[in-house]
Chains A and B, each alone.
Chain A
Amino acid sequence: MSEPVPNKPVSIAVLTILYGTSVASLRRSLAAFDNSVRLGREAGLCTEFTYAMGDASERPVLTSADLLELQELCLHIDNATYTHFGENTGTSKGQNRLSRATSSDLILLCNPDVVPDGRALWRMAASMNVATVGLVEAKQLPVEHPKDYALGTGYTSWGSGAFSLVRRDVFQEVGGFDEETFFLYCDDVDLSWRIREAGYDVLIQPAAVVFHDKKLSAIGGWQPTDAERYYSAEAALLIAHKWSRGEIVSDLLDRFEQGDDENLRRARTTFLERREHGRLPEPRDPNHEIGVFQDGNYARHRYTL
């Protein structure tokens, strides 16, 4: 089985948002990216590579010395840039900003603690040899995302913002992330669905692997933090509203109200306030041709996690 490569050399900009990120994890991630670029350059696949960091933390997580140290790791990466936003932009607004500050054929949406395998990027880029592919996601390790995809083609409902490659022209065509609506979660689901709405395919290439650590409980269950529970609940309401699933919104509002999870109650209150002040997005996809809402997920899942 020969190694797939993009039809022509490409330029890539990695857009990653820092928020209290440790320098150690950045160092590890950047070293892995630099290794990817080494392999890409050796195979003549890469014209230019930029690693753009946007810092949404209250105080900068990097000192000048840290930045210098990170840049020194970049033996093959052309540019490693760092911007402290001075506000908590979340991922949507932050990555929109970084997209405007960079130029490349492809944009890599990426969490700052993700470590890519050396071939992952190029396998994903090769998946874009078909012009209709707008977004390609990698498979995450050590806990794979349970959403289903089609064997053979890799078609899937949405691609994770933790590590997805997007054509820049497609990203711009759909207007990037909906930063007015989504702060942290579901921004990637919404982006994927708008890409599909615009006629492009979203797929996963599971042979492109990246490491994105997770913690499982002693019985193998997921352990979300309070912040994850709050923001994912808020995003769940917003995306159901935006993609014309009023019945799901009502159901979630009821459940959040009846439950005893303070995070969910708070998410409910925020949503109702937005609705009251007319700050909700215009619903789309009235015939439910794009958005997938199944068992509380945004794709059919192969298993629960």
Chain B
Amino acid sequence: MSPRKYDNQVGPYNAYGRCLELLARNVGQSSGIHLDLACGLAPIADSISQIADMHYIGIDFDEASVTEVRGRGFEAHVLDLNSVDCEQDLRALLDGRKLASVSMLDGLEHLVAGRHILQALSSLLAEHKTICIFSVPNVTHADVSIKALLGKWTYTTSGLLDETHYRLFSEESLDQALRESGLVRVDEANVVMVESDQHFPSDHGALSRTTPLGQFLRWLRASIDDHGSTNQFVWAVAPVPVKPVLHETSHEPFLSVIMRTQGRRIQELREVLLCLASQSETDFELLLTAHRVDQSTQVEIERLIEDQPAGLRGRIRLLLLDTGGRAAPLNHALRQARGRYSIILDDDDLVFEHWVATFRHHEQQRLGRIIRTLAVAQRVELGQVLGLNSVRGVASPEMPYSTHFSLSQHLSTNQSPAHTWAFPRTVYRDFAMRFDETMTTTEDWEFLLRAAEVVGVTDVTDVTATYQWWTRDASSRTAHSEDEWRQNHTEVQRRMDSRPLLLPAGETRIVREKLRRLDEVEHLFAHVHSGEGTVGQLQQQVRLKEHELVLVRQQLAQSNHRQAVLRKRVKNLRMRQDSPRRSRDKSPAEQSINTRAVSEVDVSPATPSWRRRVRNLGRMVRS
């Protein structure tokens, strides 16, 4: 490779400037050797040499670079950092001189077997009690990852996807590579470039920050970690004992139940623990975070845990947290959760026997999605009997929540109490979602909106829980003012408005239906409020229908009259028929009259159809 393509100068915001910044911050005015591994054309040599009592030594595999560095008056050596003997080589080169600091800027990714130099550094740094500054390109920069997602992977002669890179690093993989060799990050001053050298073609719709897709992908990338714009990781690393590779052997439960308590509701906590002790499915752990509790409350909570049957007691982990607001204990527990799914259960709610079992049953069918069940809400109060506090229901359980989850509906109001939905660990492991600790209320709703958007929701329409709605006693509902609730509510909506939204399949149908109904209401509203003309037209129509009804009624009256006359005639004829002279004695003429009379009755106006017409007209007028 040509050394000239890496002929960059020190700048305050590039890797060299960041390296010097970290050295100044962590090493200061130390004296001895500064070893610059994979030094290339040694851009930092001049700056290092300006530090009193500091001697620069450049190391590179490229002879031309080394020659050029030497030509500038610096000590430089050719060395293969891939070699298993590199530690020995470096020790020989140092020859007993004191090592003050080390740098390896944009070199590790070029090595075939980087672990040899990393292990050598761990040993040397420990021996000389100093640090090394690493600079490594970030392959998870948004420009690279977005293009990769859309099928583009373009090597370049230098930069993030330099064609000579052998190994590519993310934050996690760099951390892991260092840790496995006995090194750990102690400080960082990363190079940030919102548009990297991979930001091409510049009119790529997904790279753009103005297209919905570009905005969504960047929001998603930014929500996972801070490195969507990190061009190079520039870290100060120090030696630590080599961390053995851990193979997870402990049991991984299905569900991590996350509960926070301030210990103010010990009886309610007792009740919810009883619900957990009674679960038909026991494959869960309970992470109970005592948040900002004093010593006596902590003891009270510990005693309550001690009261539990061994089966539940063994599944409870009591965590203590003295900082943060409402959301802090949730995140604190989440960091320690081992379950494939997690769920929040407040210390004053209740769950049914099949609560865990229901989630578990549906996990197997729809892996990776949020599973949502139903809760009834019941108004409750605190009461006291024989000196003991207890919870007392004061109204029938109701179902105030939507039976089916709709993301669009949740954008305006939360319809899902936190203990009705379990979320898979991918939400916080892979999407790095956490409960927003800046929110003083509604943190669960805000989290649900973000999580549901990316992993979706599976509805299970079983009632598995009760939400206890405190009517007059203190609860989170009453502990915060109406204004505070409203502000948080507005904040959730503001955040959702600030970026594109990913709707699940089928959601547009719900939105369309709601819009159609809204259109109808608006149309009706406009019709009613459009002025006298429209109302006048309607009144005119009513008058016309009324007039028509009058006519029909007159016709009906005539018809009834005619019917009555005919009935009378039939009656008379029957009377005559029943007279002592039998009909067979009648003359043919008389028989003819009888027959005709009956026929006339039979062909009289079809009264049912007339009545029907009248009824219809009546309805029209009424409507």
Residues on A lying within 8 angstroms of B by beta carbon are 1, 4, 24, 28, 31-32, 34-35, 39, 115, 117-119, 123, 126-127, 139, 141-144, 146, 149, 151-154, 203-207, 209-211, 213-220, 302-305
Contacts and interface: CB of A to CB of B under 8 A. Distances in A.
A118 B309 contact: yes
A305 B395 CA distance: 9
Interface string B386-427: 111111111111110001000000000000000000000000
A204 to B, nearest CB: 7
A302 B307 CA distance: 31
Contact of B389 (A1, A210, A218, A304): A1
B463 A220 contact: yes
B297 interface: no
Contact of B350 (A4, A142, A204): A142
Given A24-B280, A141-B271, A219-B399, A205 B308 contact: no
B277 A115 contact: yes
A127 B350 CA distance: 25
B100 interface: no
Given A32-B309, A218-B461, A303 B393 contact: yes
A39 B353 contact: no
Given A220-B376, A302-B394, A143 B388 contact: no
Given A117-B274, A141-B275, A211-B278, A152 B394 contact: no
B466 A205 contact: no
Given A146-B393, A206-B383, A216-B463, A123 B350 contact: no
Contacts of B403: 218
A218 B403 CA distance: 8
B292 interface: no
A214 to B, nearest CB: 7
B270 interface: yes
B603 interface: no
16 contacts: A32-B309, A34-B309, A117-B274, A141-B350, A142-B465, A149-B385, A151-B385, A152-B385, A152-B386, A153-B386, A207-B386, A207-B388, A209-B390, A216-B376, A302-B394, A305-B397
B310 interface: yes
B492 interface: no
Of residues B354, B393, B399, which shows the largest number of chain A Cβ atoms within 10 Å of its Cβ? Answer: B393
Interface in B290-344: 307-311
Contacts of A39: 307
B384 interface: yes
A223 to B, nearest CB: 10
Contact of A154 (B273, B277, B311, B386): B386
Given A4-B387, A216-B397, 4 more contacts: A115-B278, A127-B386, A220-B398, A303-B395
B219 interface: no
B196 interface: no
Interface of B: 267, 270-271, 273-275, 277-278, 280, 307-311, 350-354, 374, 376, 383-399, 403, 461-463, 465-466
Given A115-B277, A115-B278, A142-B352, A206 B385 contact: yes
Contacts of A217: 463
A143 B465 CA distance: 10
Contact of A213 (B278, B308, B388, B397): B278
A151 B397 CA distance: 21
B459 to A, nearest CB: 11
A151 B384 contact: yes
Nearest to B385: A154
A304 B385 contact: no
Nearest to A123: B388
A291 to B, nearest CB: 23
Contact of B352 (A24, A115, A214): A214
B396 A35 contact: no
Contact of A206 (B352, B390, B394, B463): B390
B509 to A, nearest CB: 22
3 smallest CB-CB distances across A and B, nearest first, come from: A207-B388, A206-B390, A213-B353
B396 A220 contact: yes
Contacts of B462: 218
A1 B399 contact: no
Contacts of B278: 28, 32, 115, 211, 213
A141 B274 contact: yes
B112 to A, nearest CB: 58
A24 B388 CA distance: 32
Nearest to B377: A220
Contacts of B466: 142-143
Contacts of B275: 141-142, 211
A123 B311 CA distance: 22
A151 B386 CA distance: 8
Contacts of B465: 142
A139 B388 contact: no
Contact of A143 (B307, B390, B394, B397): B397
A205 B395 CA distance: 20
A58 B261 CA distance: 47
Given A213-B353, A216-B463, A302 B393 contact: yes
Nearest to B389: A207
Contacts of A205: 385-386, 388
Nearest to B396: A303
Nearest to B350: A142
B397 A35 contact: no
B351 A1 contact: no
Of residues B311, B384, B390, which shows the largest number of chain A Cβ atoms within 10 Å of its Cβ? Answer: B390
Contacts of B277: 32, 115, 117, 211
A157 to B, nearest CB: 15
Contact of B393 (A144, A203, A204): A144
A153 B385 contact: yes
Contact of A142 (B351, B385, B387): B351
A24 B354 CA distance: 14
A152 B309 contact: no
A269 B350 CA distance: 41
B392 A206 contact: yes
Contacts of A210: 274
